[in-house]
Amino acid sequence: MKRIIALVLLSAAPLSVLAKPKVNVFVQSHEAFAILQSPDSLARAGSPMGQYSAPLPPHTDYFINVTVQVHDPQAPLTDAHWCIKGDSELGDIVYEGFISGNDLELEIPQNNGKIKKVSFKIIDRKWRERKNLP
């Protein structure tokens, strides 16, 4: 039994080396662009053949130019200007969160005192203008 446990522990050890590190960051919004996206053609997915289902309503994507500050001396990045994309707008406060790969997760304080975690995708490692957005 000890050999099986040792084998499981040894096989799981390399997985921790492959995991992407999470870097704690502070993010401040500077400029946001809201772009209304039309629904995709999968609006009828899941309905039986021959039945009509109403199309999905359009949704809004927010492209936000942000300043990212990293206070971790181990991280190669200190301050940067990025463009991120998400389903939420950001206010004029500094948000705390973390980066893992191209994902940015921010903690957004709510009116009731709770914290909501919201995910964004990093679109570019520089600020973008509205005319350069997809």
Q: What's the pLDDT at 103? A: 93
- Three-state secondary structure call for residue 51: coil
Q: What is the pLDDT of residues 18-32, one digit of tens each?
A: 556 778 899 999 999
The sign of the CA dihedral 64, 69, 75, 76 is: positive
pTM of this prediction?
0.70
Under 8 Å between Cβ of 97 and 86: no
Q: What is the pLDDT of residues 55-84, one digit of tens each?
A: 667 788 999 999 999 877 777 666 889 999
Phi, psi of 66 (to 5 degrees): -130, 155
Q: What's the pLDDT at 45? A: 53
Residue 131 has pLDDT above 60, yes or no: yes
Q: What is the pLDDT of residues 101-114, one digit of tens each?
A: 889 999 998 999 99
- Three-state secondary structure call for residue 83: strand
9, with CB counted inside 10 A (0-12, 13-18, 19+), is exposed
Residue 123 has pLDDT above 60, yes or no: yes
